[in-house]
Structure 1
Amino acid sequence: MIRLALLRHGHTAWNRAGRIQGSSDVPLDDKARAELRQFRLPAPWDRADLWSSPLCRARETARIVTGHRPHIDDALSEMNWGDWEGLRGVDLLAQPGSGFRHIEHWGWDYHAPGGESPRKLEQRLRPWLATLTRDAVIVSHIGVMRVLLARAHGWDFDGPAPFRIKRNRLFLLTLSGETLAAVPEPVRLELRS
């Protein structure tokens, strides 16, 4: 059994403006960098393998929180939101016929025009998961975390999610073969002394 700890990257200007980032390589903002410098990984996660999405907001979060360079894998990139990247979800919801909808009504095959579905993202993650041999911290994105947590919880993107992703917390999973299971409570990052 391998244990995984999922950590969402810090805030960007697009996050704060409610813009859809997807695969766009948007950097952390200065406020996020200052906030992240206050935290570190708790034991035993400070000794686990460190992985990150190639997008700069995740790589920089990993480096600031741990002081180490992470292993990078393209599989950990955020879900591609196609034509909707850079737009605001609230604006798309207000636009009749846009096709944008809340996560509780997605299902596994929902996607933006020219974008990627949760199912496609999950298919991208499976081969990477199969390469893991040790406990790992994964610094990535809310879409990647949603897909892994959905699989672990048996949630099908229909109805309320059985989890709520917050920043500065490790969301824990166990991986046995191809089976993911969720550990009920996330673990907070530690404040540096």
Structure 2
Amino acid sequence: MQITLIRHGQTDWNHQRRLQGATDVPLNETGREQARTAGATLPRAFDVVTSSPLGRARETAALLATQLDLAVVGAYPAITERSFGEAEGKTGPEVMELWPDRNYPGQESEQDLIARALVGLDEIAAAHPGQRVLAVSHGALIRLLTEAVSGAGREPVANLEPVTFERVGQTWRVVETPAGSVDSALSA
């Protein structure tokens, strides 16, 4: 079973470098165009599209599904972005001034996020056995899940950047991305 998590398109808060987290900020026109472009360039390697319930992810999923001629099925709260508590809506300089240690009041821990994201992968796999799933999620969730599953650090996840996970037995692993894969097709 493989599930490809892909980050939603750009929002105004992304553009303004504001910490979004679980705040439901909509896509901007650039984000919509990113989703349409990605949908036109993604290989036809999926059976269904799903997403987190946040509007930016749901709209990205709808735009991708239209381009891929697929259905959008369900929304999974477990793949919603990490909550950054009181830091949400603030810019990088504001966050560093208020919380230089990056311990934001009300923030979801990395461990809780990773545990929740793994549950999300399991829920998606159970709902779509044997299907190739494209699931629109969020940057911090994808980055931290990738680091936890692979055991290696990684750069932040760009808008519409995909990462594929594969279930092996009872565990998940990050699929390496050979030439011609989903990841390399989007980065070209």
One fold, TM greater than 0.5?
Answer: yes
Q: Any conservation in 2 of the 1:36–1:61 contact (CA below 8 Å)?
A: yes
Q: How does 1:72-83 map to 2 (within 5 A)?
A: 72-83=75-86
Q: 1:144 aligns with which of 134, 141, 146?
A: 141
Which residue matches 1:170?
162
Runs of 4 or more above 4 Å deviation = none
Deviation string 1:21-58 (CA, Å, 9 cap, x unpaired) is: 1010000002221332233231212x2x3220000000
Map 1:43-192 → 2, pairs under 5 A: 43-45=44-46, 47=47, 49-67=48-66, 68-93=71-96, 95=97, 98-100=100-102, 112-131=104-123, 132=125, 133-134=129-130, 135-155=132-152, 161-185=153-177, 186-189=183-186
Distance 1:129 1:38 in 2: 26
Matched residue, 1:13 = 12
Closer/same/farther in 2, CA of residues 66 and 11 from structure 1, 3 Å limit: same
The alpha-carbon deviation at position 10 of structure 1 amounts to 0.3
> How far apart, CA to CA, are the structure 1 residues paired with 2:147 and 2:11?
25
Unmatched tracts of structure 2, length 5 or more: 178-182
2:19 and 2:99 map into 1 onto residues whose CA distance is 18
Q: How many residues align?
A: 172
TM-score normalised by length of structure 1: 0.79
Aligned-partner Cα distance in 2 for 1:166–1:92: 21
Question: Does the 8 Å CA contact 2:139/2:158 hold for their aligned counterparts?
Answer: no
Q: Percent identity?
A: 30
Q: Secondary structure of 2:72's match? A: coil
One-letter code aligned to 2:135: I
Q: For structure 1, which runs of at least 5 residues remain unmatched after alignment?
A: 101-110, 156-160
Instruction: Measure, in 1, the Cα distance between the counterparts of 2:98 and 2:87.
Output: 15
The corresponding residue for 1:106 is none
TM-score (norm 2): 0.81
Higher fraction of helix: 2
Q: Hey, what's the Cα distance between the residues in 1 that align with 2:120 and 2:99?
A: 36
Structure 2 CA distance for partners of 1:146 and 1:43, relative to 1, 3 Å: same
